[in-house]
Amino acid sequence: MRSITALCFSLGLSLSTLACTGEGSPGDGASADDHAGWRDLPAIAGGPRQEHGVVALDGKVYVIAGAGGDGLNTGRVEVYDPGEDAWSEAAPLPVALNHPNVAALGGKIYLLGGMVGDFPWTAVGDVLEYDPGTDAWTELAPMPAGTERGSAAVGAHGTKIYLAGGLRSLSEAFQDTVPEFSAYDVATGEWETLPEPPEPRDHVGGAVVGSTFYVLGGRANGQENVKDTVFAYDLSAGTWSTRAPMPTARGGVAAAAEGGKIYVIGGEGNPAPGAQGVFDDNEVYDTATDTWEVLAPMRTPRHGTGAVAVDGAIYVPGGGTQQGFGLTDVSEAFSP
């Protein structure tokens, strides 16, 4: 098994950036006003986490799988309760993986594929269902052979979970971004192949607003190939269109829908000096007007995390504080 140090070297990080166990900091001498609307939450109780899934269910925030504090894949599931301002632990997954595709639908949580291995990583097609009533995971029929992937854009509508793009494999030399678009019906257990998006993406944001599935930012075949594109799929018409681009091209973003808007937070691929390859950007897309607004940045720049909305606030737990690996247990919330 590989340590965090080994993983950092695999991802091309130098000794000078080998801060793979430290927490991030606001940096740049920023004042509290520069991060208006953001507040600190208790750190993830089980320690640093990166490349995990984040969903909201019954008013709570679930942090699912990913790379843990030892830099190895984990199946741990931790739960933040905003009302109690405290963390607890739910039943772990039966498999340890990173870059999971996760969604909450119909009172349950679904995991549809992810990536395994120490490094390089390879996609698997495991399908799992979590019932909070029994605190148990159930293994369902896997994804169709050849469609396994992690790090896809994910959205849910009706009884279906949508997956656009993703990664089939990731190594130091090669990243296999795929264009597949498919839907899983939680009521029937059936998969449906849908028209591919205009371009392949991974480490990409996804959200459904109304009857439209949005695919925001991300990258294609490499950390440096970050994108500002926004693709929209009309779930009724079955067609793709292109919308106004993001103000900042980013991969490894966190995205959450709230009140007809989509918040796209953080990311990777920042070339600015001193940024360690990570963004603190917080930009919101208004689906009604097809326009973007730049909001107050995160206190701790991060990528490789997720975001969810609960009672009007956007929660962003964990992530990486430098390009590649830089796991942190920092958790923050933004109130628009």
Give the 3-state secondary structure of residue 110: strand
pLDDT tier for residue 71 given thresholds of 50, 70 and 90: confident
* pLDDT of 12 higher than 60: no
Mean pLDDT of the chain: 91
pLDDT greater at residue 259 or residue 170 = 259
What is the rounded distance in angstroms from the CA atom of residue 93 to the CA atom of residue 97?
9
Lowest mean pLDDT among 81-85, 116-120, 242-246, 288-292: 116-120
pLDDT tier for residue 1 given thresholds of 50, 70 and 90: very low
Q: Closest by alpha carbon to 310, among 55, 86, 39, 103? A: 55
* pLDDT of 333 higher than 90: yes
Mean pLDDT of 16-30: 37
* pLDDT of 31 higher than 60: no
pLDDT tier for residue 2 given thresholds of 50, 70 and 90: very low
Angle CA(154)–CA(311)–CA(99) in degrees, nearest 5? 25
Per-residue model confidence as pLDDT tens digits over 231-265 = 999 999 999 999 999 999 999 999 999 999 999 99
CATH topology of domain 4-334: Neuraminidase (2.120.10)
Mean pLDDT of 20-39: 58
Mean pLDDT of 155-162: 98
pLDDT tier for residue 175 given thresholds of 50, 70 and 90: confident
pLDDT tier for residue 73 given thresholds of 50, 70 and 90: very high
Q: Supply the pLDDT for residue 118.
A: 85
What is the rounded distance in angstroms from the CA atom of residue 91 to the CA atom of residue 288?
39
* pLDDT of 196 higher than 90: yes
pLDDT tier for residue 223 given thresholds of 50, 70 and 90: confident
* pLDDT of 35 higher than 90: yes
Q: Supply the pLDDT for residue 10.
A: 38
Q: Six-digit token pair at 252?
A: 């490894």
What is the rounded distance in angstroms from the CA atom of residue 251 to the CA atom of residue 268?
5
Q: Give percent of the chain with pLDDT exceeding 70.
A: 90
Per-residue model confidence as pLDDT tens digits over 269-297 = 999 999 999 999 999 999 999 999 999 99
What is the rounded distance in angstroms from the CA atom of residue 250 to the CA atom of residue 265?
9
| φ/ψ of residue 286, rounded to 5 | -90, 110
Q: Supply the pLDDT for residue 194.
A: 98
Q: Evaluate the CA torsion angle 247, 248, 249, 253 in order and state its sign.
A: negative
Q: Supply the pLDDT for residue 180.
A: 97
* pLDDT of 20 higher than 50: no
Mean pLDDT of 121-142: 98
